[in-house]
Structure 1
């Protein structure tokens, strides 16, 4: 198939530079955001409300003596979460924040310590897995700098891989599914070891066969959608029964298909249709972009802006505007077990984005960003 090498040579990126954003303001001890319609996970309030931030958290404290930000009738939503990006430079945190993304979930920057170096007060929060698990001969195994000592040719190596990542302190485990492997037994061993260690497993899956393998092994999250054929009902039902979740990265898949000269109907008939079938089955959809700057792959979604492109493609695939916003907030937070964000509730992190217009009536209004707070720090 003409797409195979281009589509599978995805998304393993290397080291991160520590060039942190310089525009972040110091967090105020107390702030009141007034005159805003507040999102409750279902709708924005019809009346104007005030949200108080104390010490970086949503608080019930009185507005008295708090510096105020007049929201001027805007729409206050939880900060957006990009559930799939490749943060090979801390400088990418700047566009993420500018486009309302307060959490970026990396999917393959290594070493993990370079990602941790990007964490700073007021900067978009980052999480990651370190290197993805793979085998010798896979599309990513020969990339410059890839840690060949971490190949997982068998079940024993898979368990050792997980143990090393746990020592590194990673947030979750990523596995790259490829025709070369890992095989079903090795993948199952990886998932088992990760779950024993309390880690989620995210699988790179771009074909129906990848989805079936990941479903059989009961990985927690499937990222990307098949481009070779639409998912069949049995696989969709198995994903639903397993309680698995998906991060479809439609913008990335559409871009790759376009840039590699795939038949024009592949995106709609295979990628979009696969996502539509999963969504209609009630499988939770978290929003991710696969934003990256790797010159060796056929598509480079821009950091920040591509999340809003993803929103529009999700709506085109039949996802409701409410579920699109939740996919980048509460659904993303619950999918990755980040329980301190994703909603505007007492005690939650004050990760917030103020919009000038309601994205539930028109998803393109997600771009009407007026102000962003990360743990109470405004930009």
Structure 2
């Protein structure tokens, strides 16, 4: 029996397998509203057999967008535009998830599709950014340090976005605390130099994330809640896998169900050592150390490799990104490569199953 193609229960839901689509920004929204591109992009992965299709980093406020072209859930028009996309994912048998995010000091940047780099000027549609401390990401505009009222507002923005996500039909909610965005900025001592209750010792640096987990759980009592962590800053003196493990356990106590383990993104001087499956060890550390379920991600590109991650006990599921872009039917192909019979091949594609 393939572990990769065994179902996984998630707070009253069941993912039909453990090969999932990681959130991947498309930089193709208009005023935070997803477009036809998002519909086709996400629905195809569900047709391709994914267990969960996780929509991209979706801003909880206009100021929280990575770029002017990011999707959002800060108003009802965005919620209503997501609804048919979510319906298409679910109709094809996958669970529909969304990553709720605030970019902090990495907001108001040019989309990589634009051909520009750095912060978007105000006269070109940019906006002031915020962070735990007034420390700029290298090459970006300096942010404003958040006061406690601004922090409280962000907590409520996450809760409101969670409610809209559920109203749109999303079944799984992921809180983005990775890749150098706002919640990661609070967690890491490289970006958080605060001297109040949100800075300094680990419990204080984790306070904002834990408050958000609690409020999202209140706003979406029945939904599986994921947290995505960067388990290492890949920089001296930064956030590391031991702190990730500790905070994951605290988040689980407050209502988080599952942890999506990535790495990096906080500082430009990071030194990432990449190789196939290079982040799997981080996932394994968190899984064993915190006693929580996790997904592994990062250069996992074929069925045997993904199966090995699970059989080794290093993770409970595998997230993939680029491989799904190369092959939107990655799960169907993986099942064939592993010799697994699944009952969710689209009937229209059955003629290709034996190839």
Name which one, 1 or 2, has greater alpha-carbon Rg: 1
**Which one scores higher on RCO, CA 8 angstroms, separation ≥ 6?**
1
TM range (shorter): 0.3 to 0.5
Please give the TM-score of this superposition, normalised by the length of structure 1: 0.44
Higher helix share: 2
Please give the TM-score of this superposition, normalised by the length of structure 2: 0.46
